[in-house]
Amino acid sequence: MKNINGIIFFDVDGTLIDCRKGICDPTEKTKEGIKKLQEAGYLTILATGRPKSFVTKGIVDLGLDGYITSNGTYIELEDKVILNDEIDKEKLKEILHTCDKNDIKFLLEGQAKSYMKDLTKEYSKKIIDSFSLPRENITDKWSFDDISVSKIVVVDNGEEGFKEFMEKFSDEFVFMQHPGQNSYDMYRKNYTKAYGIEYLIDKLKFDKEKTYAFGDGENDIEMFQMVKYGIAMGDSHERLLPHAYKNTENVNNDGIYKALIDLNLIK
């Protein structure tokens, strides 16, 4: 491991990219800023609720030093897996049985691949299109014994069975609704981006005083609380702003690059 001058964590949606505004790849200035950070001895780490299988080529091509994905359940640093805490198979079997019983559609998120029941169905296409997911990393050809699942997306079918499903698993799982959608992230309690960040910092025995995070969403609050310096992108959720050390501009206006300059992390 090289000498580390600091660690910078980056959220994806609304931070490195903003597909809602048609920016589905990092801007040239964002790429330049990350390259300069690495040349200056900083570790650059992706921190996202998405699994690695949903990290787009444009993000992969940034050449970041590591990944914290699926709300901290998977950590990879310099191509080495440090943590891979998948959902217990017996618990997963129970979840899938309950989904089938109540006709609840699902997407199983894994790091290498993610899994759906039938990619030809309209609900599958809607999920993939709504979140700009890489279709090539999602398959409906899988067997239960061969899959590794970190997180789940479930779709509210409007029936009483979905409420019962949430109640049944609410002691162990958090259900976070996607804005403007009838789908939910279903992930284990106590696992967050902040958990993954703390795990990595402890593993490296690194000084938290030299840690930074860029984000824009309400789900980045805990991440900002974990690092020394949280930088809120333009158009950030209003609840994130009180937790930010600094505000910057949005993706379209190269907020990451401008903040790195302002913080004297790059020249």
Residue 169 within a domain: yes
**CA–CA distances in Å: residue 204 to residues 44, 70, 91, 143, 207:** 14, 20, 32, 36, 9
188 vs 86: CA distance, rounded Å: 10
CA separation for the pair 209, 229 (Å, rounded): 8
- Tell me 136's DSSP state: G
139 and 171, same domain (yes or no): yes
pLDDT at position 65 is: 98
Q: Do 199 and 75 belong to one domain?
A: yes
Asked whether residue 127 falls in the same domain as residue 50, the answer is: no
State the pLDDT at residue 28: 97
How far is Cα 225 from Cα 246, in angstroms, rounded to an integer?
A: 13
Q: What is the pLDDT of residue 1?
A: 58
3-state secondary structure of 231: strand
Domain count, the chain: 2
Convert 167-186 into a string of H (helix), E (strand) and C (coil). HHHCCCEEEEECCCCCEEEE
The segments of the chain whose pLDDT lies below 50 read none
Summarised one tens digit per residue, pLDDT across range 167-204 is 999 999 999 998 788 999 999 999 999 999 999 999 99
Q: Residue 232 pairs with which residues in a beta bridge?
A: 215, 247
Q: What's residue 219's pLDDT?
A: 87
Residue 71 belongs to a domain: yes
Q: How far apart are CA 5 and CA 212, in angstroms?
A: 11
Answer yes or no: are the C-beta atoms of 114 and 107 closer than 8 Å.
yes
Q: What is the pLDDT of residue 178?
A: 87
What integer pLDDT is reported at residue 129 of this predicted model?
87
Query: Which pLDDT score is estimated for 166?
Result: 97
Domain of residue 95, CATH code: 3.30.1240.10
Q: What is the DSSP string of 41-55?
A: TEEEEEE-SS-GGG-
- 3-state per-residue secondary structure call for 4-27: CCEEEEECCECCCEEHHHCECCCC
Statement to judge: residues 81 and 197 lie in one domain: yes
Q: What is the pTM of this model?
A: 0.92
Cα–Cα distance, 202 to 198 (Å, whole number): 6
Query: Is residue 1 one of the residues assigned to a domain?
Result: no
What's residue 180's pLDDT? Answer: 82
Which range marks the domain in which residue 175 is found? 89-188
**In degrees, to the nearest 5, what angle opens at C-alpha 53 toward C-alphas 50 and 54?**
50
Contact assessment for residue 41 and residue 20, using Cβ atoms and an 8 Å cutoff: no
Which of 137, 171, 188 is at the close of a domain? 188
Shared domain for 179 and 205, answered yes or no, is: no
